[in-house]
Amino acid sequence: MIEMRHLTRRSLIGGLLAAAAAGTGSAQAPVRVVTSTTILADFVRAVGGDRVSVSALVPANGDAHVYQPTPADGRTLAAAGLVVFNGLGLEGAGFTRLVRASGYRGAVVGAAEGIAIVRRAGGHHHDQGGGRAQRETVEPATVADPHGWQNVANVAVYARNIAAALAQVDAAGAASYQANAERYGQRMAQLDAWVRARVASVPAAKRRVITTHEAFGYFGAAYGIEFIAAQGVSSEREPSAAQIARVIAQARRENVRALFIENMTNPRTVEQIAREIGAAVGGTLYADSLSDANGPAANYEALVRHNVEMLVAGMQRN
């Protein structure tokens, strides 16, 4: 507002006319959206189009569960017009603390809000140490699984939430955001149908997979695959010897040969299990973050297609 005093009335009106002539989309600066993960950033890009600029705090191939904020992240947040995170415990308490400390005072939107929450048994191997110990003094019987984006059908909910949040900070773009979210949702419905068809090519009895942490609960529930992991829904804590032994015993008992490492977690556990049961690791699944731009999961749709082809090939070996 201070700068406005330096403008003559004439140049101000001229500027407004120029902005109007340039159209509603391009005249204004894009809304700066900051997300926790690269997957959420991709959703914001799909919904926001050229009305937004997006950056993710956790980089490609990074792990949101163990995210450690940097001073640069605080500055990025302070300049944000909107903050989008997943919620359901994905980002942990460090994220909330960072947002508060950054001085950002705008909306902080949980993009997973309203999805049907999958709960996982096993509070016993979830978040016993680290920052959450003080908050969770009693271990819950089940915990909310935060990995909602792994059910492709849920992404329409993510897109709608993002569209509504963007409309709050950029009312002029509301119709555009809504249309983009709707179109993206339709695209996701087609992708969902494709996933179902690919998984259906694997006999039901073979649909078992071993991964590092429980990132695929929504995927498994939606598409009829049993995922077995030594680590719980958070990768925050290394699995115990007993947890690894349990997975090895189940793999032997049920003849599971489909093993995958994840792009953002330590491959050691799965490699150890593979050695123990005499199977080969089937490759890398993109669980909680995208690959870099040159990788096989540079956007969400590519991530899904890559994971599904890897999983189908792996499960055929069971």
Beta carbon of residue 236, minimum distance to Zn ion (angstroms, whole number): 9
- If the CB atoms of residues 80 and 90 are measured against Zn ion, the closer one turns out to be 90
Which residues, in sequence order, are CB contacts of 22 under 8 Å at separation 6+? none
- Is 118 a residue that touches Zn ion (CB under 5 A)? no
- Is 127 a residue that touches Zn ion (CB under 5 A)? no
- If the CB atoms of residues 73 and 288 are measured against Zn ion, the closer one turns out to be 288
- One character per residue 199-228, x = contact with Zn ion (rule: CB under 5 A): ----------------x-------------
First to last CA, the chain: 66
- Is 229 a residue that touches Zn ion (CB under 5 A)? no
Looking at 22-30, 107-115, 165-173, 284-292, which segment touches Zn ion (CB under 5 A)?
A: 284-292
- If the CB atoms of residues 149 and 177 are measured against Zn ion, the closer one turns out to be 149
Q: DSSP secondary structure string, 168-223?
A: HH-GGGHHHHHHHHHHHHHHHHHHHHHHHHHHHTS-GGG-EEEEEES--HHHHHHH
Looking at 74-82, 102-110, 113-121, 283-291, which segment touches Zn ion (CB under 5 A)?
A: 283-291
Q: How far apart are CA 251 and CA 62, in angstroms?
A: 28
As a three-state string, the secondary structure of 47-106 is HHHHHEEEEECCCCCCCHHHCCCCHHHHHHHHCCCEEEECCCCCCCHHHHHHHHHHCCCC
Give the tokens for residue 33.
Answer: 């959206």
Whether the Cβ atoms of residue 303 and residue 290 lie closer than 8 Å to each other:
yes
- If the CB atoms of residues 288 and 301 are measured against Zn ion, the closer one turns out to be 288
- If the CB atoms of residues 34 and 215 are measured against Zn ion, the closer one turns out to be 215
Restricted to residues 24-63, the positions that interact with Zn ion (CB under 5 A) are none
Which residues, in sequence order, are CB contacts of 2 under 8 Å at separation 6+? none
- Is 73 a residue that touches Zn ion (CB under 5 A)? no
- Is 262 a residue that touches Zn ion (CB under 5 A)? no
- If the CB atoms of residues 73 and 262 are measured against Zn ion, the closer one turns out to be 262
Query: For Zn ion, which residue of 288, 297, 298, 311 counts as binding (CB under 5 A)?
Result: 288
Site residues for Zn ion per CB under 5 A: 215, 288
